Amino acid sequence: MILQTDEYAIKATLPGDPIFFFRRLRDPSCRFTDLMPGALSDAQMPKAIHHFMVLSGGWPLDYLEYHSLGDATVSEAQKSAREARISGWIGRALPLGSVTRTERVAHRHVTLLRMHFGP
């Protein structure tokens, strides 16, 4: 995993995989804007996410956000499928505890997924 930083975000790529891309904002640092698995399987994603979180500053204490589940053109079924997939990855990536609750938060023209942590 190769990290790149700029004034807005920390980004990760994998050599040899042109599609894999993670991006975490610096502010707020609890927000992912991109979680593109590329060639990684769903089973491999939690380990990659955990590794990225450690390298990019650690896990937030209360919650993590994913931007975005979609805008008004994305169906409720598609949003629900994305929510289940992403919260599953994050839940299995957490070093301690689990995702105890998810919520959808309207942000500008998209819907954020906020995943709360607990024991």
**Rounded Cα distance, 5 and 24, in Å:** 10
Neighbours of 52 (CB within 10 A): 21
Which residues form the domain of 16? 2-118
How many distinct structural domains can be found in the chain?
1
Contact of 18 with 33, CB cutoff 8 Å: no
Contact of 85 with 77, CB cutoff 8 Å: no
Q: What is the pLDDT along the chain (119 residues), one digit of tens a residue?
A: 999 999 999 999 999 999 999 999 999 999 999 999 999 999 999 999 999 999 999 998 899 999 878 888 889 899 899 999 999 999 999 988 889 999 998 887 888 899 999 87
Reply yes or no: is the peptide bond before residue 28 cis, omega within 30 of 0.
yes
**Rounded Cα distance, 62 and 103, in Å:** 13
